[in-house]
Chains A and B, each alone.
Chain A
Amino acid sequence: MGVMVVSALDLDGLNLQGPLCSPVAVPAGFPSPAQDYFTGRIDLNKHLIRDITCTFLVRVSGHSMDGAGIADGDELVVDRSLTPADGNVVVAIIDGELTVKRLRLEHGRVRLAAENPEYPDVVICELSELSIWGVVTRCLHHV
């Protein structure tokens, strides 16, 4: 799955102060006063971005990550400063291209796994040859 950087998130620019409700768990059974569901406005910058200096928004193309809930045209929030761990969805550099895959650290080798049986995994023998551009923290999925 290829990526392009759609917006290098503006320092204060990304004006996403939209949704009225912050996500709260909805209790089953009892009726609750509306206040329980309303905890004020949510600033999507704060909600999505841990550190503005290393967070980038990229748009993906392709279908190799369909199984991870990442569809063609979705935007990903990527943190470049995180240390990639086994199981993370990452933006990896393969042959000079930015590619989205799931990172699998297995005994002695690294696998960049597609989540679509029609796409092959990329196996890297030497850990030192692995180049990770950033770790995906959110998917902005178009519904």
Chain B
Amino acid sequence: MPEMGAGKVERFALVDVNSFYVSCERAFDPSLELKPVVVLSNNDGCVVARSNEAKALGIENGDPWFKLAADAKRTGLIQRSSNYELYGDLSSRVMELLGRYSFSQEVYSIDESWLVLRGTPEELVRTGAEIKAAVALHTGLPVCVGIAPTKTLAKFVNRVAKQNPALRGVCSWDTLPSAHAEAIMSRVPVTGIWGIAGRLGKKLNALGIFTIADLKAADPVVMRKKFSVLMQRTIMELNGIPCIPLETEVATKRQLIFSRSFSTPVTTAARMHEVMAIYAQQAAIRLAKDSQQARLITCFAGTSHFNDRAASFPSVAVKLPAPTADPVLLTKAATRAWRAGLWMASRTPAPVSC
């Protein structure tokens, strides 16, 4: 990103809500503070989110509640059913609030947003702290902020902020002592970096690349030949060269696109149904805001763009009986289209839009 004179820089900030679903539950039920809490999926009662205290008990996502219930009395573990309407509402508040801090925002997932910030490194750390305080004050949700010259590094320092309470939720690549950064990078497995999934990690391990520092030191051109341009970009981004731009939403008079990625792939029909419902409602809100109506809904999904094997990008379109911005009708249409057309087409979809 450009240097701007007078010590000012332009940086990516990644703002990410800590344990989002659990934090949403806590925002309305303070008795859950500091206690081990899990949020369960509505259909099969498996863990979909954990508080740090629940993680410390060794509970994993996907654990069925019936297996945890027996021990819950002893450990003090509390369960809540997922309430996606609530999470969607709090998410839109957070995103709206974050948008006030930047001229350029990319909502990346239900609980993560990219912002572009300008200022001196010290100013940006202060802005990060302001953002964290504002989100806590307005919504009751805790966030961490990572600030860096590239998206990949911003993800990395966001994680550093999460794991080091002394940083009080804000970590900037520019002000993090480089010895400290190097120490973390040579300790954290390469799969801890954005875009390097487990399977890719194994391939890298076979080449002697085990940590983030190993990958950072790899030759990007050689790695491009061995893997893909995505790997080359990740390596360059680790070295401070921005390659992955902000993707702001494209909304013209003729079409409105609502597109999000997930930190973990959506793999069940029930979860996909919930996700489709949230997105259709968000799209309806956007339509109403612009005094527009939809005539046609296209739902599309895709595997992660980091998943260069087994890529799949199915889509299906439905014509609505009459132009509408009614969230109920749009939700029905989107979820029906999804069930009818898409589920059989792709077993491992990731981002969905409508």
Q: Which of A7-15, A61-69, A111-119 is near enough to bind chain B?
A: A7-15
Q: Which of B89-97, B161-169, B175-183 is near enough to bind chain A?
A: B89-97
Within the complex, what minimum Cβ distance (angstroms) separates B291 from chain A?
11
Given A8-B86, A8-B89, do A53 and B138 touch, yes or no (CB 8 Å)?
A: yes
User: Is chain B's binding surface mostly helix, strand, loop or mixed?
Assistant: helix
Q: Would you give the 0/1 interface string for A92-107, flagging 1 where the beta carbon is closer than 8 Å to chain B?
A: 0101111000000000
Contact residues on A (Cβ < 8 Å of other chain), bracket: 10 to 19
Q: A12 near B289 (CB under 8 angstroms)?
A: yes
Given A5-B28, A93-B30, do A54 and B285 touch, yes or no (CB 8 Å)?
A: no
Question: Is B250 interfacial (CB 8 A cutoff)?
Answer: no
Contact of A11 (CB < 8 Å), options: B28, B30, B96, B137: B96
Nearest B residue to A51, CB-CB: B138
Contact residues on B (Cβ < 8 Å of other chain), bracket: 20 to 34
Given A11-B92, A53-B93, A53-B97, do A80 and B33 touch, yes or no (CB 8 Å)?
A: no
Within the complex, what minimum Cβ distance (angstroms) separates B292 from chain A?
13
Q: Would you give the 0/1 interface string for B227-252, flagging 1 where the beta carbon is closer than 8 Å to chain A?
A: 00000000000000000000000000
Docked complex Cα distance between A95 and B89 (Å) = 26
Question: Is A37 interfacial (CB 8 A cutoff)?
Answer: no
Contacts of A96 in B (CB 8 A): 29-33
Contacts of B81 in A (CB 8 A): none
Contact of B30 (CB < 8 Å), options: A51, A81, A133: A133
Question: Is B288 interfacial (CB 8 A cutoff)?
Answer: yes
Chain A residues close to B by CB (< 8 Å): 5, 8, 10-13, 51-54, 80-81, 93, 95-98, 131, 133
